[in-house]
Amino acid sequence: MKHLIISAFVLATTMHMQAQIVKELRVNTAGIIHTVKINDVAAVCFLAGSTYKVEIETEKANQPNVTVTETNHQLTIDAIHKQNSKRCIAYITIPNKPVTIIARNVASCYTSPNSILELDNLQFDARSVASIKMNLISNVFNCTFNAVAYAEMTGSANRCKFDFTSTTDIKMGKFKIKDLDLTAHSGISMSLYVSRQLKSDVNNVMHFDLAGHPLIVKE
């Protein structure tokens, strides 16, 4: 009986430890990174910093199911979620260097609260993403959104190229853009602020709110 009690206690302790949420540092590099690719992660938090860093926050038992690799100037974060995983966040610190971010099957992408991501040149490709909420200051910002349900951005950019397909709610009225090349097909609601020049190809967008009084250039 005593051995059974001890075994039950050890099992309960082990299960408790495995269920604990822990944050692990996976990558911290000053090397050259051209691309950051994120697959199947529940949430991604972007932070500004001087080097690239990736931290994974999830249950201790789930940590082995999230892989982070650095190969050929690319950081790749892949998650294989177990059904009992309740939390999985990738914290990605990015220095102010040109970078392409690719997000696939991600529930939420966001910048750290009360912080600004400053990137001179950012290419952002999001497909099958439920929510994007970012505060960004950039010189060149090009993004492709495909099957993105909600995107809200604040900050500013000088030159942008947007390609939106099958989006639901794009809120960029507080994201100050000077020049924009816009392609948008099959959307429900979209609000933008462009102050200087807008080149647009917009089809099948139910509601389009444009502020800033830019010069409209037809294709």
Which pLDDT belongs to residue 51? 97
61 with 36: CB under 8 angstroms?
no
Q: Model confidence at 218, in pLDDT bands (50, 70, 90)?
A: confident
CB count in 10 Å sphere of residue 206: 9
Which pLDDT belongs to residue 192? 99
Domain ranges of the chain: 21-115, 124-219
For residue 148, give every residue at least 6 positions away whose Cβ sits within 8 Å of its Cβ, in sequence order, or none.
Answer: 126, 127, 128, 129, 130, 132, 164, 166, 167, 168, 170
177 with 192: CB under 8 angstroms?
yes
Higher-pLDDT residue of 46 and 14 is 46
Q: Is the pLDDT of residue 6 over 50?
A: no
Q: Model confidence at 1, in pLDDT bands (50, 70, 90)?
A: low
- Cα end-to-end distance, the chain, whole Å: 82
DSSP string, 80-129: ---TT---EEEEEEE-SS-EEEEEEEEEEEEEPTT--EEEEEEEEEEEEE
Which pLDDT belongs to residue 190? 98
Higher-pLDDT residue of 164 and 87 is 164
Q: Is the pLDDT of residue 9 over 80?
A: no
Average pLDDT, stretch 136-154? 99
Q: What's the mean per-residue pLDDT of the chain?
A: 92
Read off the tokens for 13: 């302790």
Tens-digit pLDDT profile for residues 88-127: 999 999 999 999 999 999 999 999 988 899 999 999 999 9
CA atoms of 68 and 163, how far apart (whole Å): 28
Q: Is the pLDDT of residue 85 over 70?
A: no
Which pLDDT belongs to residue 115? 87
CATH of 21-115, one of 3.40.50.300, 2.160.20.120, 3.30.70.1070, 3.30.1360.40: 2.160.20.120
